[in-house]
Chains A and B, each alone.
Chain A
């Protein structure tokens, strides 16, 4: 059986088949189609699985929602501090270079 027909059977299972009558006739007459249809139906068992109760309380979500902006602020502040610490030696050396340059220029102008 070709893939197109199998897709048709799958959509029939979902109740989304555009030509249900064709599929119904095929299932009556074609043993192979019936066999594939039965196999595709295996996934229907997923419906029997139960939900697991979520142990989270709503208050915890709200608390976390409130904490979120503070957390973001702290992360941003931390990132700025780290960036400053990393760039500080560069800024410092650049400043020293500038001072040295000014000193040389002053001496040269004399």
Chain B
């Protein structure tokens, strides 16, 4: 696998060049986001093959509609395209993944803990788990999340609270 673009940041110049069809710039965007989007897709598709297909479709769409991106927060924009595509996929397929444990990787902590977190996320309503993942894992702030989901920041605030309560309840808390 080629890592010549690894670590390169997606800036405005890269985006503008990618809009004109510049392959190198598109590849930088692809390498920056592919694992993130693939991992997000893994939660909602049935298997890694489906996730690959969904990720491929998302990037085809991203490069097709890139001209519509008129500046602003690119990370929020690409997640908006991805989340909309994934939500459509979920509503079409009505399937939840049965994530194979072999696909799980860990940073630290026990693997059982990671599996429990993954399973908890799977059990949650998609919109809430997407929100929680984008907040906790991707570090998107309220404004960016508002951009992704197309709702006011106040709604994001209350949804995040709800998502945390649901996560806690499904994770094993009995406080609800």
Name A's B-contacting residues (CB within 8 A).
Answer: 3, 6-7, 9-11, 13-14, 16, 39-40, 42-58, 60-62, 64-65, 68
In the complex, chain B residues 8-61 whose Cβ is within 8 Å of any chain A Cβ: 23, 26-27, 30-31, 34-39, 42, 48, 52, 55-56, 59-60
Which A-chain residue is minimally distant from B114 (CB atoms)?
A49
Q: Are B35 and A51 in contact (CB under 8 A)?
A: yes
- Among the listed B56, B104, B160, which residue makes an inter-chain contact with A60, where contact means beta carbons less than 8 Å apart? B56
| A interface SS class | helix
Q: Which of chain B's residues have a CB closer than 8 A to the CB of A64?
A: 56, 60
Q: Are A45 and B31 in contact (CB under 8 A)?
A: no
Say yes or no: A16-B142 contact (C-beta < 8 A), given A42-B171, A52-B42: yes
Q: Which of chain B's residues have a CB closer than 8 A to the CB of A6?
A: 161, 165
B85 at the interface (CB under 8 A from A): no
**Once bound together, how far apart are the Cα atoms of A10 and B31, in whole Å?**
33
**Once bound together, how far apart are the Cα atoms of A100 and B104, in whole Å?**
73
B164 at the interface (CB under 8 A from A): yes
**Once bound together, how far apart are the Cα atoms of A91 and B133, in whole Å?**
56
Say yes or no: A51-B157 contact (C-beta < 8 A), given A58-B31, A64-B60: no
Q: Are B35 and A52 in contact (CB under 8 A)?
A: yes
Q: Which of chain B's residues have a CB closer than 8 A to the CB of A60?
A: 56
Q: Are A52 and B103 in contact (CB under 8 A)?
A: yes
- Among the listed A14, A46, A62, which residue makes an inter-chain contact with B160, where contact means beta carbons less than 8 Å apart? A14
B112 at the interface (CB under 8 A from A): no
Q: Are B135 and A61 in contact (CB under 8 A)?
A: no
Q: Which of chain A's residues have a CB closer than 8 A to the CB of B114?
A: 48-49
Q: Are B175 and A62 in contact (CB under 8 A)?
A: no
Q: Are B161 and A7 in contact (CB under 8 A)?
A: yes
Say yes or no: A54-B52 contact (C-beta < 8 A), given A48-B107, A68-B64: yes
Q: Are A49 and B117 in contact (CB under 8 A)?
A: yes
In the complex, chain B residues 63-106 whose Cβ is within 8 Å of any chain A Cβ: 63-64, 103-106
Q: Are A49 and B168 in contact (CB under 8 A)?
A: no
A84 to chain B, nearest CB (A): 29
Q: Which of chain A's residues have a CB closer than 8 A to the CB of B59?
A: 61
